[in-house]
Amino acid sequence: MQEFLEQQDLKSISCRSFYILNDREKGLLVLNNKDEITEKKIDELMNVIGINTTFIYALDGSPDINYAHNIRLSMRSPWFWCLLTALIALFVFVGLSGIFWLSFWGSAGWFVSKFIMSSQFSSWRSTIGKN
């Protein structure tokens, strides 16, 4: 859709997403800013091919309308059920205190590794090496 807008000399408008809805005669177009002249021009061009267009303006990104669909797909994955049963087994065998300590030490390891891989640590290490 972005190429189509550029061909029509509408380069100031960025198309985030274009969805053709279930009845195939309606389209939903997500753009980055509102411009009535551009909206009218796009509407005229889409009417030629038989699509009645509705506009949404998303200044900070397009909405994810497939979020529920993605959740349903992940629930069909064996990895989802593997992780869920592993968490249930972990809770049964080690209890809340075990889960707390596992989370605590896992978080501590994450923060330590994040610090070690940071530029602050490398600059600090290079200043120590010079002394």
Q: What is the pLDDT of residues 33-78, one digit of tens each?
A: 677 777 788 788 878 878 777 777 766 544 454 555 566 667 778 8
Q: Which two tokens stand for residue 21?
A: 């809805």
Work out the number of other CB atoms within 10 angstroms of the CB of residue 10.
19
Between the alpha carbon of residue 17 and those of residues 10, 13, 31, 101, the distances in Å are: 16, 12, 7, 44
pTM: 0.37
Q: What is the pLDDT of residues 105-115, one digit of tens each?
A: 999 999 999 98
Q: Which amino acid is at 19?
A: Y
Mean pLDDT of 103-131: 85
The predicted pLDDT at position 123 comes to 81
The predicted pLDDT at position 49 comes to 78
